[in-house]
Structure 1
Amino acid sequence: MKIGNFGKNVFMLAGGTAFAQALSFLLIPIITRVYTPQEYGVLAVYASIIGLLGILGSMNYELAIPIAESEKKAINVLFLSILTLTISFMVLVLLFVFIGDQFLILLNSETLIEYKYLLPIGFFFIGLYNILTQWAFRRKGFKVITKTKYKQAILQNLSTIGLGVIGIGSIGLLIGKIVGQSAGISSLLNPLVKKERGLFTKINKRYLIWAAKRYSKFPLYTTPRRYLGDITIVLPVLFITSLYGAKEAGLFGLANSVIQLPMNLVGTSVSSVFYAESASLRATDPARLKKISNKLLRNLIFIGFIPLIVLLLFGPYLFSIVFGSKWSEAGIYASLLSIAVFSRLIFKPISNIFDVFEKQKTALILNVLRLVLVLAVFGTSKYLLLNTYWTVGLYSLTMALIYFIQYLLAQKILNDAVENFEKNILVARKG
């Protein structure tokens, strides 16, 4: 696929995400006026717990769908992913039925006890959407993925605002979140059911067992690696809730969700397309893949630099004007977090190389280090009784450092792939 088509696919996904993020941004001032920081804090904790649980849904088997060598293997990986998700969902339901309250207390998330059964529901919808999205990536179905972004944005925001207006409190935010997570699943499922239903006849027990063994690196290394990576993103909300209260968690949650706009608008779209392209080029032209990664870095730095400066200089003022005076403190958090978000924007998409070249063990080791450093930040903050600004600032700098190291390791993997590819060509010519 030409680089021009790569860019076209990025812009297609980015267009859908742009609409979703623009709509969300335009409606946040309404949401922040019908919900309080404390209520928003409940949503922040919910999103954090879902982030911790969601990565375990299908044990990341779905990431093998785009790189499976044949259609028969791919459809069995798809079914294996859904089967794994279903089993995980049932286990989670039983967990919340019998020890749900104790589990949430352990995570300093008592605010979710009365909403605990919404967690398994959100867990299942996130997992199913992710699995079907990977099948769409295999089919280069970027158009249908883009349409799901429209649906998610419209339905989530309308339901959130509608429920907020009638004054039902925090549960309105949570239901809105679930609606947003589930929207688009039917759009992703329809092409598979209507046009490729013949593939279902190729699903059998022998190939399911083969797929579970062949792609075992994904649950063995990718799942703990991504879990450790995501936990460093969601831990701040849990720690801030525990150390400083739900109000501060709500302020932090708003700041974090708003400044993730550049990442979600560009970074996620680039990351998705880069993963799909990497799956195609890893064995045929790693040198081109290397060139694409270098070009991406330059472009992402250019795109993210201006938002970084604006947030650093005017964060508190902008938040106060746009979201209301009671949210001005969130602008300070936004300024502090902008360094980490900028680093994630420019470095994270290229880090998909770990999965593409099946270097999950290396990535797992890196994320163990990442978790240790983040825990050290919050441990230090608690021991020294640091205020929230120092805590968030230290966390932001730590995450920026980790993203940079992650990028350097991804580049090394690419360089090694190019070198090995060229050696194999020379050997083939001599032979």
Structure 2
Amino acid sequence: MKVNHKQKCIMGFVSIIISSLKKLPFTFQILEFIQNNPLYKGVFILGSGTAVTQLIGIISMPIITRLYTPSDLGILAVYSSILAITGIGASLRYEFALGLPKRDEDAANLLGLCLVLLCCTTAIFAFILVIADDYFIDTFNLYSISEYLWFLLFGFFGLGLYSIFNYYTIRNQDYRIITYTKINQGIGGAVCKIFLGLFSFGPIGLIIGHIISQTAGIGTLVRSIWYKKQNIYNSISINSLKIIAKTYKNFPIFHFPASIMNTISLQLPPLMLLWLYDSQIVGFYSLANMLLILPGSFISQSMGQAYLGEASKMVRDGSKELRNFYLKTLKHLSLIGLPLIGLPTLFAPVFISVIFGHVWKEAGWYCWTLGAMVIVGFVVSPTSILSIYGNNHWNLIWDIIRTGGVYFGFYFCYVFNCPVLMTLFIYSIIMIMMYFVLIFIVLYVIEKFTQNVKGKVDDYIQN
């Protein structure tokens, strides 16, 4: 595959960072370990791309908030929430299985199955928009985004297509290509929003920029996949697609509903705030939530990857120190999260109006109601991976209860006509309570796992 000058520059970005960091004290050994370990090297490369993309987003936001109104940003938040929920069904979560087949021919057929499903679900989505758009607009009070609903179709197909090829590229461990596309998405999305904002495109400019920020780089991924193993795609057939669909049927049966519930619980607030108030309130919430989450998101993702690797090893080894390791990780994340998120939360009402413009001042007070929830989520989320203990059903149950709790919390505020700050405070309390419930669930599962391991050892000794 030919690499142009632009790709060489972006793909070499991580190498430049590594070279620079080597000059700093105490980092050479760490970087040498990362470079010699394929797993952590991949995580570092992908994480670097995510960090750069987030940095681009942070730098561009003060410009974007001066080109668009809170109402415009609120419409984008509602659009992105609906897209995130509907986008889960693009290929029924079969894309998550792309790294599992041992034979490349099976992986190629799984790729073909995902693409066929994407075309079918996009057609179904289009049909639903044609016959039921008025129903959804009336039911969920989506009048403010009614003229932008058809952009969901483009976002749905583009997001699904990128996700499929992204997971297939991860299978090939071509992390640099993925990093290149992520950085391109960040730059392309930000430039598009700013450029269209200068010409007063309003919400359309934000929505188009959002689509670019999630779909740019599809062509690059396709070329990298196609040029490496062209011959294996001749093995794709209808019969093979049927076999592969049956082989990995657990993904649409179990993973798909769990992902739906998880995403709904996270994306529900913008939709409910629009239902209760208006798109301007959603815009203030969107900015506040983004500013609180962004500082710790890279650390949270990296810690989650590291915890998953170490905890998985301890599970395989049947280690009795699993509980202590979990509690120690919670403690370390708490020590990081409190100042990292707490300080920006404390001074948010002051710096938001200075950095983003006086019109956004109200978002600073929203930060006060959301700060504690974000800190607890930063601490709990990276370490609460129940699947490594073989307890996927607990995740699904917890997600269902959390979604129901969030919905009824907003409904309570609707019945009693609560002001927006009280509504966000109640939402935060519900989420914090659910995070603590999750901690107890993880501790219970770990204790149960440890007892099972001890029982097996005792049985072995007795026999």
Q: Is residue 2:262 matched to residue 1:229?
A: yes
TM-score, normalised via structure 1 length: 0.87
The 5 Å alignment of 1:266-305 reads 266-271=299-304, 277=309, 287=319, 297-305=330-338
Q: Which amino acid aligns with 1:59?
A: L
Q: Which amino acid aligns with 1:391?
A: T
Cα distance 1:26–1:178, how it changes in 2: closer, same or farther (>3 A)?
Answer: same
TM-score, normalised via structure 2 length: 0.82
Residues 129-163 of structure 1, C-alpha deviations (whole Å, 9 max, x = no match)? 22223223333333332222211110000000000
Aligned residue among 350, 362, 365 for 1:329: 362
**Mean CA deviation greater in 195-204 or 370-379:** 195-204
Corresponding residue number in structure 2 for 1:371:
403
Cα distance 1:247–1:11, how it changes in 2: closer, same or farther (>3 A)?
Answer: same
Residues 378-426 of structure 1, C-alpha deviations (whole Å, 9 max, x = no match)? 1211122211111111212222332343354456556666776787799
Deviation (angstroms), 1:270: 4.7
Q: Is residue 2:155 matched to residue 1:122?
A: yes
Deviation (angstroms), 1:171: 0.4
Residues 252-271 of structure 1, C-alpha deviations (whole Å, 9 max, x = no match)? 11112222213532334554
Corresponding residue number in structure 2 for 1:249:
282
Aligned residue among 291, 296, 309 for 1:258: 291
- Aligned mates of 1:286, 1:137 — CA distance in 2: 29
The 5 Å alignment of 1:408-419 reads 408-410=440-442, 413=445
Deviation (angstroms), 1:333: 1.3
The 5 Å alignment of 1:166-185 reads 166-185=199-218
Give the match's secondary structure for 2:154. Answer: helix
**Mean CA deviation greater in 142-151 or 52-61:** 142-151
Residues 319-364 of structure 1, C-alpha deviations (whole Å, 9 max, x = no match)? 111111111111111222222222332322334442x666433322
Deviation (angstroms), 1:76: 3.1
Give the match's secondary structure for 2:361. Answer: helix
Contact 1:262–1:304 (CA under 8 A) maintained in structure 2: no
Q: Is residue 2:86 matched to residue 1:44?
A: no
Corresponding residue number in structure 2 for 1:201:
234
Corresponding residue number in structure 2 for 1:144:
177
Structure 1: 5+ residue runs without aligned partners? Answer: none
Q: Which amino acid aligns with 1:48?
A: S
Contact 1:217–1:360 (CA under 8 A) maintained in structure 2: no
Corresponding residue number in structure 2 for 1:361:
393
Corresponding residue number in structure 2 for 1:218:
251
Q: What's the % identity of the aligned pairs?
A: 30
Cα distance 1:348–1:25, how it changes in 2: closer, same or farther (>3 A)?
Answer: same
- Aligned mates of 2:428, 2:395 — CA distance in 1: 20
Corresponding residue number in structure 2 for 1:385:
417
Q: Which amino acid aligns with 2:437?
A: I
Q: Is residue 2:433 matched to residue 1:401?
A: yes
Q: Which amino acid aligns with 1:399?
A: M
Contact 2:386–2:394 (CA under 8 A) maintained in structure 1: no
- Aligned mates of 1:3, 1:224 — CA distance in 2: 38
Deviation (angstroms), 1:310: 0.9
Q: Which amino acid aligns with 2:268?
A: L
Q: Which amino acid aligns with 1:196?
A: K
Corresponding residue number in structure 1 for 2:55:
22
Cα distance 1:40–1:138, how it changes in 2: closer, same or farther (>3 A)?
Answer: same
Q: Is residue 2:139 matched to residue 1:106?
A: yes
Residues 167-189 of structure 1, C-alpha deviations (whole Å, 9 max, x = no match)? 11110000100111111223333
**Total equivalences in the alignment:** 428
Q: Which amino acid aligns with 2:58?
A: F
Q: Which amino acid aligns with 1:11?
A: F
Contact 1:229–1:367 (CA under 8 A) maintained in structure 2: yes
Give the match's secondary structure for 2:200. Answer: coil
Corresponding residue number in structure 1 for 2:190:
157
Cα distance 1:419–1:69, how it changes in 2: closer, same or farther (>3 A)?
Answer: farther
Structure 2: 5+ residue runs without aligned partners? Answer: 1-31
Give the match's secondary structure for 1:348. Answer: helix
Contact 1:286–1:414 (CA under 8 A) maintained in structure 2: no
Give the match's secondary structure for 1:66. Answer: coil
State the Cα RMSD in Å: 3.2
Give the match's secondary structure for 1:57. Answer: coil
Deviation (angstroms), 1:283: 8.7
- Aligned mates of 1:94, 1:266 — CA distance in 2: 41
Deviation (angstroms), 1:299: 4.7
Residues 279-311 of structure 1, C-alpha deviations (whole Å, 9 max, x = no match)? 996995575995986775455334322122213
- Aligned mates of 1:12, 1:271 — CA distance in 2: 15
Q: Which amino acid aligns with 2:264?
A: I
Contact 2:74–2:281 (CA under 8 A) maintained in structure 1: yes
